[in-house]
């Protein structure tokens, strides 16, 4: 029995449908960009479950705010601009969650900064993204957010300080300690 080919809907159609609030189009957009959003949120959360929660919270913001999303005149740019917009929402959702949790914990990071045991695996160069993400997830929330924003998203220390509500000096310190911890984790994996 042959399976009918999965219909590919254009991003323009999906955005248009979501702007009208039609659930079938929201579903298509959600399923298309779920993985991308999850990959972003994994960098700012301590677990996959927490990341899934951020993905869903982020998509609520996407569907609420998509009416204000402006499609570019050049259709070729639509995908890149939309993904940039989506990533920004997911990052801010995760950061807000981190800051909320931080306030509840009175500024005390409860997570250990170093792993108790490294995940056995391949050489560092061959490590998959999800393996590296697991290392990032072992960092404290402050180190994790700072490192991801700086090393992966390309934020400057000024932008990180503004986003996380910390000083530029703290951002630099966090980045330095995050790198130090990640190096130690990678060395443990290589041993």
The residues of the shown chain that bind another protein, judged by CB under 8 A, are: 7-10, 12-13, 16-17, 20, 22-23, 25-27, 30-31, 33-36, 38-39, 43, 56-57, 59-60, 63-64, 124-125, 127-130, 132, 136, 147, 150-152, 179, 182-183, 186
CB of 117 to another protein, least distance (A): 21
Find out whether 47 and 94 touch, Cβ atoms under 8 Å.
Answer: no
CB of 106 to another protein, least distance (A): 29
Is 30 or 98 the residue whose CB approaches another protein more closely?
30
- C-alpha distances (whole Å) from 40 to each of 4, 62, 171 are 31, 15, 20
Is 77 or 108 the residue whose CB approaches another protein more closely?
77
CB of 183 to another protein, least distance (A): 7
CB of 83 to another protein, least distance (A): 11
């Amino acid at each position: 029995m042959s399976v009918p080919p999965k219909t590919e809907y254009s991003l323009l159609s999906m955005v248009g449908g979501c702007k009208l609030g039609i659930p079938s189009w929201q579903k298509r957009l959600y399923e298309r960009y779920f993985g991308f959003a999850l990959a972003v949120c994994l960098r700012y959360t301590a677990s996959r479950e927490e990341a899934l929660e951020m993905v869903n919270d982020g998509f609520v913001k996407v569907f609420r705010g998509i009416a204000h999303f402006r499609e570019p005149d050049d259709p070729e740019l639509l995908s890149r601009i939309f993904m940039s917009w989506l990533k920004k929402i997911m990052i801010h959702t995760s950061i807000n969650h981190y800051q909320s949790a931080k306030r509840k914990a009175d500024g005390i990071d409860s997570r250990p900064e170093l792993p108790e045991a490294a995940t056995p695996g391949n050489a560092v160069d061959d490590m998959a993204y999800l393996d590296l993400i697991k290392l990032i997830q072992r960092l404290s929330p402050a180190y994790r957010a700072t490192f991801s924003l700086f090393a992966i998203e390309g934020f400057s220390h000024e932008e990180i300080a503004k986003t996380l509500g910390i000083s530029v000096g703290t951002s630099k310190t966090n980045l330095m300690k995050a790198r130090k911890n990640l190096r130690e984790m990678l060395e443990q994996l290589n041993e």
